[in-house]
Amino acid sequence: MLPLVCLVVLGDSSLVTTSGYVDSRTTAAQTLLNGAPGLTELAEANLQVKVKPLEQLTAFADVSLFWQGAWFVHGGERDQPEYRPSVVLSEAYLDAPLQDGFRLVLGKKRIVWGAGLAFNPTDVLNPPKDPTDPTFQRAGAWLAQAEWGFDKAALSLVLAGKATRQYAGLPTGLVWYPARPSAEAVRGWVPDDRDNEAHFAFAGRLYVLIADTDVNLLYSFTNLYNDAFADKSRLGLSLSHVFGSLELHTEASFYTGSARLEAEGHRVTRPFLGAEWLNARVVIGGRYQFNDSALFSFEYYFNGEGHSKPAFERLATLARANPTALLQAIAGSADPGTPQKFSFEPLRRHYAVLQYSKPQIFDDFTVSVAALVSLEDLSMQLVPQVTWAPKEWLQLTVAVYVPLSGVTAWGVRIGEATYGEFTLSATGTRTLVQARVFF
């Protein structure tokens, strides 16, 4: 449908809006575990096309071609499937505003309602994002949305299906797994992950602007969608208000049980999926802009899915022994959507995200520092970054990802060594050099 619409209107440039970028991300990393590459290149060509053939119909697509390479692999060069070239269809949807105040959307789209910046606990629809750079995640979910929008209120209903199989960015299985196993499973390269369940999510959102505050009330029902929960209802609340130059927000999700992984000997299980105790994930934070345009943002994240120290120690011990198996278990059903420059699965309960950026320190140089801190051992991922926009169409970035181990006494003991949550990964300090050309 989408290519057909594009072809019909291609001759009329007034109906077509295009934008995009070409991007190169080169990362050099200190490797700590076997299989971790010391040098990676992620090149992306992104194209966003908006076509408006009719007053009441818009078609939009956001597609990226990725070329990836990995070298200097710890423990010896080997094939790295996650670094193969790929096509990512981040968004592709039809948007039909059928009446003033009512629209239907059909296709793949990213819909985010909550006010959180680094974390969105109420978001059950989208792939997880990089908390140190929320702008990086563009991929959405396959869905149908009906929305009634008014001056100070909106009601949205969304039904989303999980892409159970996809190739070159396009799904070959949606909601249900295909009848046949994948070629990789037939050859025994990966386990056959099929089941007979419907993998879907329903989400409803009521937005109201009350006393100059954005208020979102959310309800969702998911079945084996982006996590291991089956038939799970959640309630959500999000608030955002501006006091002078300070924006404050909160976003919370409430539900029963937990999908957390528990290590038992050499295997992992999810023992609390059917539990009936109340659980929550909550973000409280804000942004403040100074007179010189510098911006400071802060968020506290309570992760009800997090582990106690002994449970985390068991999981971390298993992770050091078999990181690949554990990563597969953690990733489970959540496809990140795009190659991640920093992926993070919060395994503890209390986190803080702090970010400070000062633009135009000289010409168009922006200096920023982000810190993602585990408050239970004070280990952190520190990300100092310099961005320079020498031209309106060119942006250059150098960022360093520094994992710090925090307070030794609060870390977890594995063998003879003590680790913080952020020093358990397969790589140590990483340096990222990025160049992005907009068109």
Can you give the binding site for other proteins, defined by CB under 8 A? 17, 19, 21, 48, 58, 91, 95, 97, 100-101, 103, 109-113, 115, 134-135, 138, 140, 147, 149-152, 154, 156, 207, 209, 212, 214, 240-242, 244-247, 249, 287, 289, 291-293, 359-360, 362-364, 389, 392-393, 395, 438-439
3-state secondary structure of 311: helix
Report the nearest approach of other proteins to the CB of residue 59 (Å). Answer: 12
Query: 12: which residues sit within 8 A by CB, 6+ positions away?
Result: none
**Cα 41 from Cα 38, distance rounded (Å):** 10
- Comparison of 58 and 381: residue with beta carbon closer to other proteins: 58
Q: Where are the beta strands (DSSP E) in 74-169?
A: 86-99, 102-109, 141-149, 153-161, 163-167
- Comparison of 121 and 420: residue with beta carbon closer to other proteins: 121
Q: Are 53 and 81 in contact (CB under 8 A)?
A: no
- In this structure, what are the phi and psi dihedrals at residue 20, rounded to the nearest 5 degrees? 160, -170
Report the nearest approach of other proteins to the CB of residue 395 (Å). Answer: 7
Report the nearest approach of other proteins to the CB of residue 226 (Å). Answer: 17
Report the nearest approach of other proteins to the CB of residue 313 (Å). Answer: 36
- Comparison of 199 and 249: residue with beta carbon closer to other proteins: 249
Q: What's the count of helices (H) and strands (E) in the chain, helices before strands?
A: 4, 24
Report the nearest approach of other proteins to the CB of residue 294 (Å). Answer: 11
- Comparison of 156 and 258: residue with beta carbon closer to other proteins: 156
Burial call 183-199: b when 16+ CB within 10 Å, e when fewer: eeeeeeeeeeebeeeeb
Tokens of 205: 């959102």
Tokens of 276: 């009936």
- Comparison of 140 and 403: residue with beta carbon closer to other proteins: 140
DSSP 12: -
- Comparison of 19 and 233: residue with beta carbon closer to other proteins: 19
Report the nearest approach of other proteins to the CB of residue 176 (Å). Answer: 27
- Comparison of 214 and 313: residue with beta carbon closer to other proteins: 214
**Cα 341 from Cα 209, distance rounded (Å):** 36
**Which stretches of 123-264 are DSSP H helices?**
183-186
Q: Are 284 and 299 in contact (CB under 8 A)?
A: yes
- Comparison of 287 and 348: residue with beta carbon closer to other proteins: 287
**Cα 239 from Cα 249, distance rounded (Å):** 5
DSSP assignments along 231-254, one per residue: SEEEEEEEEEEEETTEEEEEEEEE
Report the nearest approach of other proteins to the CB of residue 363 (Å). Answer: 5
Report the nearest approach of other proteins to the CB of residue 23 (Å). Answer: 12
Q: Which of these, 373, 407, 227, 376, lies nearest to 311 by C-alpha position? A: 376
Q: What angle do CA 127, 129, 133 make, to 5 degrees?
A: 155
- Comparison of 361 and 407: residue with beta carbon closer to other proteins: 361
- Comparison of 154 and 185: residue with beta carbon closer to other proteins: 154
Q: Are 401 and 432 in contact (CB under 8 A)?
A: yes
Report the nearest approach of other proteins to the CB of residue 217 (Å). Answer: 15
Report the nearest approach of other proteins to the CB of residue 293 (Å). Answer: 5
Q: Dihedral of the CA atoms 2, 5, 11, 17 (nearest 10)?
A: -50
